[in-house]
Structure 1
Amino acid sequence: MIIVHDIFVCKPGNASKLAKKFKEAMTGYSEIKHIMTDVTGQFNRVILVSEYESLTTYEQSWKKYEEDTEANRKMQEVMQGYTDMYLTGSREIFKVW
């Protein structure tokens, strides 16, 4: 199993707003397991946790985000302007043993 953390370091006051956007936009995308905000450690972080069977499955999942579907159009509409809410980000990919 592969677990992916997409980490966004938000501008002050925007972490909960961005988490709410992700929660609304990612409804129906079964690979997204958790949307988290920090309690300790670095401030103003939003972390999306997703799970995949393999790296191949992870790579293939990107294709579904490129499709012109009603769900993707809704996601794009909800996420409009989200890049103004964060400063930087990163991705961590873990293999579960």
Structure 2
Amino acid sequence: MIIVHDIFICKPGNASKLAKLFKEVMTGNSELVNIMTDMTGQFNKVVMVSQYENLTAYEQSWEKYKEDSEAMKKMKEAMAGYHDMYLTGSREIYQVW
């Protein structure tokens, strides 16, 4: 199993807004496990946790985002402007033993 952490360091006052937006937009996404905000450590951090059977499944999950489907159009519309909510981001991919 593969666990992926998509990490966003938000502008002050935007972490909870971004977490809420991700939760709303990602509803129904079977790979999504959790959306977390910091309680300690670096401030204004949002972590989106997802899991996949293997790296191939992870790579295949990106294909749906490339589609020009109605669902993807709605997602892009809902996510419009989210780049303005964070300063930087990163991705960590872990193998579960």
Interval containing the TM-score (normalised by the shorter chain) = over 0.9
Q: Which residue of 2 aligns with 1:57?
A: 57
| Structure 2 CA distance for aligned equivalents of residues 35 and 64 of structure 1 | 21
Unpaired segments ≥5 residues, structure 2? none
How far residue 4 of structure 1 moved from its aligned partner, in angstroms, is 0.1
**Matches of 1:3 and 1:28, distance apart in 2:** 18
Letter in 1 for 2:32: I
Aligned counterparts, 1:28-67, within 5 A = 28-67=28-67
CA distance in 2, matches of 1:88, 1:12: 12
Runs of 4+ in 1 over 3 A off after TM superposition: none
Cα-Cα RMSD: 0.7
The amino acid across from 1:30 in the alignment is: S
Q: Deviations over 1:64-90 (max 9, x none)?
A: 111122221221111100000000000
**In 2, Cα distance between equivalents of 1:5 and 1:63:** 19
TM-score (normalised: structure 1): 0.96
State the identity %.
74
Structure 1, unaligned runs of 5 or more: none
Number of equivalent positions: 97
Deviation track 1:9-64 (CA, whole Å, cap 9, x = no partner) reads 00000000001111111111110111110011100011000000000110111001
